[in-house]
Each structure stands twice: as C-alpha cells, then as structure tokens.
Amino acid sequence: MLGHGSGVRPSTADACDDFCDLVTVPVRQGLEAVDILRRVGARAVGPVLHDGACDTLQFLVPPGTADAWDLPGSACTHTGGDVPGPADVSAVGGGWLLPPGDIGRLTDPTVLRAALGEAARLIAAADDCR
C-alpha cells in the first residue's frame, strides 16, 4: 500500500488520500512516454511500475482518472488503495521503473495522455521507416 510515509502525492492541487489509479500501457509506448515526460521536467512523471515480463508499464495517477480514461491501447483501473509497496512489487516479479520515494508525485493524467499520444506517433513513424 502507498502509505503516508511514501511521499506519493497527486500532481493536482487537490488533496488526495493514499488511493490512486493505474494507467497500463505496452512497455514500448510507456518507455517512450517516460522519456517524453522526463524531457518536460522531472516533476512531470510520477511513480511507474513494470510487470515481471516487462510487457507493460503502469503509471500511478490521481484517483478518479479511470472514470474518464478512454485512450485506445491503454487501460486505467481503480486500485482501491491496493497499490503494492516497493517490497511487494519485487516479490511478485515486477518492479519500479521510477519508485515512489524518488519521485514524490502522481503523474498528471492530462500530461500523460499527451505524452502517450506523442509516443504512439513516434513509434508509428519509426515502424514506417522499416
């Protein structure tokens, strides 16, 4: 669980409890989006999980994001506070690409949506060059 000592806070001005939603994307698009967000600024991207097989990345976003998320090729789910802590993640074969303690904020869903769109366009352009 994301506890009060984890330092994870929403990127919006509204106060939030320890709940968050997870945006899940294919790893290639997710890594591109992380690069894009890191170029925008270190505070633009929050904690990011990867699965054990490295097929997907999950961005931690403010609670309620799943209610309106509709970006094709991705999914957003409510966690109900069920986000694993750093020790739990490694126990199930996944891990943190960007751990909560290092980042301290959740990713803004509007900024993430734009980065994922740009990432998809970059990937399509690269694939068209083959």
pLDDT digits (tens, 9 = 90+) for 12-48: 333 334 689 999 999 999 999 999 999 987 678 999 9
Distance of CA 129 to the CA centre of its chain: 28
Cα–Cα distance between 108 and 5 in angstroms, integer?
A: 21
pLDDT at 9 over 60: no
In degrees, rounded to 5, the angle at the alpha carbon of residue 79 between the alpha carbons of residues 73 and 80 is: 150
Per-residue pLDDT, averaged over 71-97, amounts to 73
pLDDT at 88 over 90: no
Q: Give the pLDDT score at 32.
A: 97
Rounded to two decimals, the pTM is: 0.78
pLDDT-derived band at 118, boundaries 50, 70, 90: very high
> H/E element holding 73?
none
Q: Are the C-beta atoms of residues 8 and 1 closer than 8 Å to each other?
A: no
Q: Give the pLDDT score at 99.
A: 87
Cα–Cα distance between 98 and 45 in angstroms, integer?
A: 9
Q: Are the C-beta atoms of residues 77 and 21 closer than 8 Å to each other?
A: yes
Q: Give the pLDDT score at 106.
A: 92
Q: Give the pLDDT score at 107.
A: 94
